[in-house]
Amino acid sequence: MSDASLSNDPHSTPELRRRDATHHIHPFSDTGALNKEGSRVIVQGEGCWITDSEGNRLLDGMSGLWCVQIGHGRPEIADAVHRQMSKLSYYNTFFKTTHEPAIELAERLARLAPAGLNHIFFTGSGSESNDTVIRMVRTYWDLMGKPEKKTIIARQNAYHGSTVGSASLGGMSGMHAQGGMPIPGIVHIPQPYWFGEGGDQDPDAFGRWAAQELARAIEEQGPETIAAFIAEPIQGAGGVIIPPDSYWPEIKKVLAAHDILFVADEVITGFGRLGTWFGSDYFGLEPDLMSIAKGLSSGYLPIGGVMVSDRIADAFIEKGGEFTHGFTYSGHPACCAAALENLRIIEEEGIVERAAEIAPYLQEGWLSLGDHPLVGEARMVGLVGALELVPAKPDRSIRFDNTGAVGTLCRDHSLKNGLIMRATRDSMIIAPPLVISRGEIDMLVERARKTLDDTAEDLRRDGRLKP
Ligand SMILES: *Cc1c(COP(=O)(O)O)cnc(C)c1O
């Protein structure tokens, strides 16, 4: 083969990049900039590792996108999906029909979910789950004869998805700026982000203040108009924001004092991430509705759902009438088969217990990075954590100019060092597969430290960090 024909190989990395740039618009990307730089082409995944088209092996510190609980490439899931597809590849669950994978998955989830959540509405994603939440809580109050209860309280800098409804629940101002969001009837309160917004208060006082913001918003809007409060037990995409210890107990008090529904968005915290089956188990929350996706199938196929309490399900069942909502792929048999096999693996291999067991080891390593001159705070619960990068520790109020630039620089160093971390503003985030080993944790921490050193060196060279 001549050199010319080689370079025309449609599967060569440069050709794949060129073809990608020509036709593919990426999510959450600056497509113009990306097309110039070229995408990284991922070709394989195995356990906690992925391989790109240039043969680099990267330790996947983000479980894909917070979802690959059991690690990449488990053949049992492929086999289970193959078996299901060979028998019934698709049928809907709309017109008085059902099928065994949906029945079995609904049953399994009712057993695993926190007490009282015995029903599920299937969706194809976390975004669809949260859109379903909006319609379900408003319809619930209609059924209860309280149609004035329509407003949903959510939090600034929350992430609940990218459809118009779910992004409206979300509190990301950059998202609201594109496409006319939020939709009416959604109110955002401050987040319990002590490191960034705690000012002079100690964490517990700040946590109580942030929780009381819910009470304040309820009073301001009028309690009779509030349908629900939605929150992630730990904010993921917002920067792994772990509330102060005082926050959830105080929120529970506020919720108990009012007749409003509580929705836990467990799309990240579900299925073992915190070393418990759900974040609600970890924090002792009692949601009326619970959104799930991601770890439900370990991301192998797209599936999500809303877990529904008896109280709400009974209203829909007893008061009758059609709930005019659903998706072509609600309860897709192949996706249900993938989820069932994923849950079988998690249960039979004790992966949630294993996550709880190994979490202190990861935490010890991760929190040790807090002594680095660039790290203002290292935090972690279960197997999800963040590092806040700052120019002048220990002063939390001084941040880098041009928010996000240092995070991006650090992320690029991390990739070069063979570790996938995510950058949110100027904090670095990890959420590795729950099956990560001690040896892999050692590697993760070592590579993260080298990454911080490399980043600090660059910043000292150009004067953004004191020598
Ligand atoms: C990822 C995520 C969603 C959205 O899920 P998609 O499957 O991407 O639509 C919703 N809520 C939380 C907390 C998430 O992390």
Q: Which of 28, 69, 127, 297 to mutate to test the pocket of ligand 1 (most atoms within 8 A of CB)?
A: 127
Predicted pLDDT of residue 1 = 45
Mean pLDDT of 155-177: 98
pTM flag (> 0.85): yes
Predicted pLDDT of residue 466 = 84
Q: What is the pLDDT of residues 327-346, one digit of tens each?
A: 999 999 999 999 999 999 99
Residues forming beta bridges with residue 187, ordered by sequence position: 153
* pLDDT at residue 320 greater than cutoff 90: no
Cβ of 389 below 6 Å from ligand 1: no
Mean pLDDT of 392-415: 96
Q: What is the pLDDT of residues 113-150, one digit of tens each?
A: 999 999 999 999 999 999 999 999 999 999 999 999 99
* pLDDT at residue 276 greater than cutoff 90: yes
Predicted pLDDT of residue 467 = 78
Q: Percent of the chain, pLDDT > 90?
A: 97
Cβ of 131 below 6 Å from ligand 1: no
- Atom number, ligand 1, closest to the C-alpha of residue 161: 4
CA of 66 to the centre of ligand 1 (A): 9
In this prediction, residue 7 has a pLDDT band, given cuts at 50, 70 and 90, of: low
Cβ of 169 below 6 Å from ligand 1: no
Angle at CA of residue 393, ends 391 and 395, nearest 5°: 100
Angle at CA of residue 358, ends 354 and 359, nearest 5°: 110
Q: What is the rounded average pLDDT for all residues in the chain?
A: 97
CA distances from 84 to 100, 152, 301, 348 (A): 10, 39, 13, 21
Predicted pLDDT of residue 371 = 98
In this prediction, residue 8 has a pLDDT band, given cuts at 50, 70 and 90, of: confident
- Atom number, ligand 1, closest to the C-alpha of residue 66: 15
First to last CA, the chain: 53
In this prediction, residue 418 has a pLDDT band, given cuts at 50, 70 and 90, of: very high
CB atoms < 10 A from the CB of 347, how many? 15
- The size of the chain, in residues, is 467
Q: How far apart are CA 249 and CA 285, in angstroms?
A: 9
Cβ of 160 below 6 Å from ligand 1: yes
* pLDDT at residue 5 greater than cutoff 90: no
CA distances from 375 to 76, 425, 445 (A): 41, 14, 14
Mean pLDDT of 252-266: 98
Cβ of 267 below 6 Å from ligand 1: yes
Cβ of 127 below 6 Å from ligand 1: yes
CA of 326 to the centre of ligand 1 (A): 18
Contact 338, 332 (CB under 8 A): no
CB atoms < 10 A from the CB of 1, how many? 7
Mean pLDDT of 145-168: 98
Q: Which of 68, 125, 162 to mutate to test the pocket of ligand 1 (most atoms within 8 A of CB)?
A: 125
- Phi/psi class of residue 29: alpha, beta or left (left: φ > 0; alpha: ψ in -120 to 50)? beta
* pLDDT at residue 311 greater than cutoff 80: yes
CA of 398 to the centre of ligand 1 (A): 31
Contact 229, 253 (CB under 8 A): no
Q: What is the pLDDT of residues 53-93, one digit of tens each?
A: 999 999 999 999 999 999 999 999 999 999 999 999 999 99
Burial zone of 100 (CB within 10 Å; 0-12 exposed, 13-18 middle, 19+ buried):
middle
Q: Where do the DSSP E strands lie in 284-416? A: 289-292, 304-309, 375-381, 384-389
Mean pLDDT of 20-33: 96
Predicted pLDDT of residue 325 = 97
Q: What is the gyration radius of the CA atoms in the chain, in angstroms? A: 23
Q: Which of 128, 160, 271, 429 to mutate to test the pocket of ligand 1 (most atoms within 8 A of CB)?
A: 160
Contact 295, 304 (CB under 8 A): no
Predicted pLDDT of residue 2 = 46
Cβ of 232 below 6 Å from ligand 1: yes
* pLDDT at residue 433 greater than cutoff 50: yes
